[in-house]
Amino acid sequence: MRTVSASGVRAASIESREQVTAALAGDARLSEWTVRGDEPGFLELEREPVICILAWPEVWREKQRLAPHLIRARSGNYTLILVGRADELADAPVDELDDASVRMTVLTVPTSPAALVIALRARGEADRRTLELADLELSLERARYENDMLIDVGRALSRQRDVNALFGMILRRAREVTGADAGSVYVVEGDDDAAGQDGRPPTPRLLRFIESQNDSIAIESTGFTMPVSPASIVGACVLAKDTISIPDLYRLDAPGTGNNPWSFVHDRSFDQRHRYQTRSMITVPMISARDQVIGVIQLINKRARGVTRLIAPSDFDEKVLPFDDVSTEYASTLASQAGIALENAMLYDEVRTLFEGFVKASVTAIEARDPTTSGHSERVASLTVELAAVADRETTGTYAGYALTTDDRKQLEYAALLHDFGKVGVREHVLVKAMKLYEHDRAIIQSRFDFIRKSMETERLERKVRYLAEASRDSMTAALEGVDGDIGARLEELDDIVAFILQANQPTVLEQGGFERIQEIAARTFASPSGEQRPYLTRDEANALQISRGSLTEGERLEIESHVVHTYNFLRQIPWGRTFRSVPEIAGAHHEKLDGTGYPRGRLAIDIPPGARMMTISDIFDALTASDRPYKKAVPVPKALDILASEVQRAKLDKELFDMFVSAKVWERALKRA
């Protein structure tokens, strides 16, 4: 018996696929469902976002026919509904359908339209909630991923000190978190917003293009500048200190109207030249801790999910999306991090430049005090850094674990450049002493012997006058000849003494007997103008001339050696920070020897830093081979290496480092580096 329902549709039992289709078309309560597929044995119904597959026994009993429906059901967006009479469902292949990934239920027929409405609504609502929950979980997981990415980006940005590398990292990370296909980064130069500050005249602000990236096309970007003005999108971003988001540059309204309040006119010359379309765009300012815009990130073409490149012209219509609020928020957050990181990197760069200037000025001060060693500090620094680089590559021996980071390299370079800075605390005349006698002492001795010569010549004249007055004519000639012979011999001896003293003044080893002759000369006396007997050489002069090696007396040598203490004490006063905190220690140990015979502290090998050991070899090598020392000739490299080798054999220098120095020909590498 049939009755009429409130909806105007005659109530009847529903069992077949055709009856379900008729109910969907005739019952307003089912109008929210649409038929996506209608084939013998199954119906595919949709009420977005839910999709239900109703399968009758002729489908769910056949594995081959059921298989494609199971695949779709496993995807998560489909629910499989097995339709059948109670006795048919009793024989359903439960074991084959026992899969937790498949959303599945049953519909027993015959059923009423009301029961069908309830069943579909219940299934649809449950599936909708399941899908919403899945979307929420996916969004939550995405948010976690993106937040973790932002944290990782922040850490990476804070660690990066190279300004140029930082720009590339900022742009790459911004594109990652927003899904942008391309982008550019700019830096703001000038300070016309700081007019009158510190009495400095303002300089016009400019935007300098730094780098661009594009996943879809290969482009060569070249640097350029443009004024900060509202005529460009990046200029307007700087002036507004705010993000500018444009959903589609190709659909901008006329300037100043609709969706174009900025009055932008999109220049498509780049797009036409590269067959690319700049559609969606966000431009985000990088703001420093002092609330100044120091750069701009411009991101182009947010790709749809799963899209990796934009190739065909249709891709820009179908696969490019506007940057949504989430992308804009992430880009703004990253830009804030980038602004602080960029400011820190710029400040670090300024500090590094300041440090470099200080070190160079210090080296200049050293060389001004001791011009005879001009270039020594730079050469020692090059040799030491190159030797450290060789040690860094060692895979065996003591230095297999030695690692040379960028900061370590710079620390070693600073220590080597400043290793002789303590010479500013040594008296200048001691530093530049080229001969055993100071020039003024040599001049005094020369004047003294000139006086002795004059005295002898005066004595000759006085004796001749006396003979002329007293001697007879017959004996006069013989007497005068005797005076000339005597005084002449003494003058020749005097000239020989002067020549010997000048030779002994050279910083070379005296021949056998040389010291005794100096003592013998010093024991001689002459009469001063006052009649007082004075020595040919004073005790200090004689001691200086008897220096066995080099040109320095013991006291002067100790004074020179004190420069290491001055270096350490001076460098210790500088706040090097944790990065370069070992500079004083390395520089202050470059004259220590492994056997404890070095100075100033007589350290043993275990207490000498590796950097100082390297510098010791480099310092000795350069001192031997340098051609700028006026008191000695440059030693050939083979001879210098022999001298170093003898020091190694006496356990004074590090053998492994010396072997590296020789095998890698560090001096040649350092010369190329310079």
Torsion of CA 300, 304, 305, 309, to 10 degrees: -70
The contacts of residue 467 (CB under 8 Å, 6+ apart) are 476, 479, 480, 483
Residues 588/568, Cβ–Cβ less than 8 Å: yes
Of 219-223, 616-620, 642-646, least confident by mean pLDDT is: 219-223
Is residue 646 predicted with pLDDT exceeding 90?
A: yes
Read off the pLDDT band of 657 (50, 70, 90): very high
Distance of CA 576 to the CA centre of its chain: 17
Q: Read off the DSSP letter of residue 304.
A: P
Task: Express each pLDDT in 429-451 by its tens digit.
Answer: 777 777 888 888 889 999 999 99
CA–CA separation, 43 vs 35, rounded Å? 7
CA–CA separation, 57 vs 538, rounded Å? 129
| Cα distances (Å, whole numbers) of residue 589 to 125, 568, 586 | 80, 9, 6
CA–CA separation, 64 vs 84, rounded Å? 19
Q: Comparing C-alpha atoms, which of 243, 244, 246, 208 is closest to residue 227? A: 208
- Cis check for the bond before 110: say yes or no (omega within 30 of 0): yes
Please state, rounded to an integer, the average pLDDT across all residues of the chain: 84
Task: Express each pLDDT in 235-292 by its tens digit.
Answer: 999 999 999 999 999 998 888 788 888 888 888 888 988 899 999 999 999 888 778 8
CA–CA separation, 157 vs 465, rounded Å? 99
| Predicted local confidence at residue 80, as pLDDT | 86
Share of the chain above pLDDT 90, in %: 31
Residues 119/54, Cβ–Cβ less than 8 Å: no
As a whole number, mean pLDDT of residues 87-113 equals 80
Is residue 594 predicted with pLDDT exceeding 90?
A: yes
Is residue 98 predicted with pLDDT exceeding 90?
A: no
| Predicted local confidence at residue 366, as pLDDT | 79
Share of the chain above pLDDT 70, in %: 88
Is residue 198 predicted with pLDDT exceeding 60?
A: no
| Predicted local confidence at residue 157, as pLDDT | 59
| Predicted local confidence at residue 4, as pLDDT | 41
| Predicted local confidence at residue 7, as pLDDT | 42
Q: Comparing C-alpha atoms, which of 209, 160, 171, 183 is closest to residue 341? A: 160
Three-state DSSP class for residue 172 = helix
390 forms bridges with which residues in the sheet? none
Structure tokens at 40: 């013998």
Structure tokens at 184: 């550019």
Is residue 630 predicted with pLDDT exceeding 60?
A: no
Q: Which of 87-91, 363-367, 525-529, 643-647 has the highest mean pLDDT?
A: 643-647
Torsion of CA 139, 141, 142, 145, to 10 degrees: 160
Task: Express each pLDDT in 386-406 by its tens digit.
Answer: 999 999 999 999 999 899 998
DSSP, residue by residue, 2-69: -EE-TTSPEE--B-SHHHHHHHHHH-GGGTT-EEEEEETTEEEEEETTEEEEEE-HHHHT-HHHHHHH
Q: Comparing C-alpha atoms, which of 569, 565, 653 is closest to residue 605? A: 653
**Residue whose tokens read 């602004």:** 339
Q: Comparing C-alpha atoms, which of 107, 130, 119, 132 is closest to residue 30? A: 119
CA–CA separation, 169 vs 210, rounded Å? 12
| Predicted local confidence at residue 202, as pLDDT | 66
Is residue 196 predicted with pLDDT exceeding 60?
A: no
As a whole number, mean pLDDT of residues 8-32 equals 80
Q: Which segments within 528-615 are labelled E, that is strand?
A: 533-535
Is residue 618 predicted with pLDDT exceeding 90?
A: yes
Q: Read off the DSSP letter of residue 398.
A: G
As a whole number, mean pLDDT of residues 306-321 equals 91
As a whole number, mean pLDDT of residues 408-430 equals 87
DSSP, residue by residue, 99-143: -TTSEEEEEESSB-HHHHHHHHHHHHHHHHHHHHHHHHHHHHHHH
| Predicted local confidence at residue 138, as pLDDT | 67
Give the per-residue SS3 of 421-467. Answer: HHHHHCCHHHHCCCCCCCHHHHHHHHHHHHHHHHHHHHHHHHHHHHH
Is residue 644 predicted with pLDDT exceeding 50?
A: yes
As a whole number, mean pLDDT of residues 95-103 equals 70
Q: Comparing C-alpha atoms, which of 559, 565, 598 is closest to residue 584? A: 565
Q: Comparing C-alpha atoms, which of 23, 25, 14 is closest to residue 56? A: 14
CA–CA separation, 278 vs 262, rounded Å? 17
Using a 10 angstrom Cβ sphere, with 0-12 exposed, 13-18 middle and 19 or more buried, the burial of residue 546 is middle
pLDDT top residue among 472 and 122: 122
Task: Express each pLDDT in 133-175 by its tens digit.
Answer: 777 776 777 667 666 666 666 666 566 566 677 778 878 888 9
| Predicted local confidence at residue 177, as pLDDT | 83
Task: Express each pLDDT in 172-192 by its tens digit.
Answer: 888 988 899 999 999 898 875
Alpha helix segments (H runs only) across 592-650: 610-625, 637-649
| Predicted local confidence at residue 237, as pLDDT | 93
Structure tokens at 292: 């100044």
- The CATH number of 370-431+556-673 is 1.10.3210.10
- The CATH number of 162-349 is 3.30.450.40
Within 10 Å of residue 406's Cβ, how many Cβ atoms? 10
Torsion of CA 536, 540, 546, 551, to 10 degrees: -120
Task: Express each pLDDT in 536-578 by its tens digit.
Answer: 999 989 888 888 777 888 888 888 788 889 889 999 998 888 8
**Residue whose tokens read 């290496």:** 641
Q: Which of 108-122, 236-250, 630-644 has the highest mean pLDDT?
A: 236-250
